[in-house]
A and B are shown apart, each in its own frame.
Chain A
Amino acid sequence: SQQGEEDPQALSIQEGENATMNCSYKTSINNLQWYRQNSGRGLVHLILIRSNEREKHSGRLRVTLDTSKKSSSLLITASRAADTASYFCATDDYTGANSKLTFGKGITLSVRP
């Protein structure tokens, strides 16, 4: 079953604009990870945010986590055509050596040049 539910399902923006993607989940988590996937290829890890963190930055990426609302958001600033891809949030209920990611269906981001 899918734990994460991303919103919106598809997003189309102009190059240079910011893109905000949201993710909600249902159960307690240890951390939440965002991934990017270019068409038909593997998943590229973007950022991990732990359950005791509220915000994290990496380059043009900003991720927030609200455990009380069981939600996270990914902001991509100053988007580029190369950011066009599918984006997934994945929750990790890591316990000891057992780490399992549960993914949503993903968000398709199109950045128009």
Chain B
Amino acid sequence: ETGVTQSPTHLIKTRGQQVTLRCSSQSGHNTVSWYQQALGQGPQFIFQYYREEENGRGNFPPRFSGLQFPNYSSELNVNALELDDSALYLCASSGSSSGNTIYFGEGSWLTVV
């Protein structure tokens, strides 16, 4: 149990639609990151939020966007969904109290049809 919670756990969307995934970080953690994990691959860094601002971004197009709220929870939004967006989306949190250790949630499985 990492204290990082994500919702929903599974969802199916149609190509072209938009999706919002949610994450509550572990108590006391002010940094949230999002990762995409395609089947059979390792997770890929999408972006990170620190104190409500984007603080680093991986090689993902602008249709991947996010938010961090004052309570450090976060959202990942993906617009104009493509079939290749089908993946497990993982939220991770960290903070000064975690000593650089990064804790992950259980993930949200997104299937785009």
Find the residue from B58, B94, B100 having the highest chain A CB count within 10 A. B100
Asked whether B2 lies within 8 Å of A100 as measured between CB atoms, the reply is no
On whether the beta carbons of A48 and B109 are closer than 8 Å, the reply is no
A101 touches B102 (CB 8 A): yes
A-B contact pairs, 19 of them (CB 8 A): A2-B42, A31-B100, A35-B104, A40-B109, A42-B2, A42-B105, A42-B107, A43-B92, A44-B2, A45-B104, A88-B43, A90-B42, A92-B100, A98-B48, A99-B100, A99-B102, A101-B102, A103-B44, A104-B42
Residues A97 and B100 in contact in the complex (CB < 8 Å), given A40-B109, A104-B42: no
- Complex contact B106–A42 (CB within 8 A): yes
CA distance A46 to B106 in the complex (A): 15
Interface status of A33 (Cβ within 8 A of chain B): yes
What number of A-B contacts does a CB cutoff of 8 Å give? 75
Chain A residues with CB under 8 Å of B104's CB are: 35, 42-45
Given A42-B90, A103-B44, A104-B42, do A98 and B106 touch, yes or no (CB 8 Å)? no
Q: How large is the interface on B (under 10, 10 to 19, 20 to 34, 35 or more residues)?
A: 20 to 34
Query: A103: shortest Cβ distance to chain B, in Å?
Result: 3
Task: Given the known inter-chain contacts A31-B100, A41-B106, please indicate yes or no for A99 contacting B42, CB distance below 8 A.
Answer: no
**Complex contact B88–A48 (CB within 8 A):** no
Residue A30 interfacial (CB < 8 Å) = yes
**Closest CB of chain A to B83's CB: distance in Å?**
19
Let me know if A30 and B100 touch, CB within 8 A: yes
Contact between B102 and A92, CB atoms less than 8 A apart: yes
Docked-complex contact A40 and B88, CB < 8 angstroms: yes
Q: Mark A80-107, 1 if CB is under 8 A from B, else 0.
A: 0000000010101010011111111110
The 5 closest A-B pairs by CB, nearest first: A103-B42, A42-B106, A43-B104, A98-B56, A42-B104
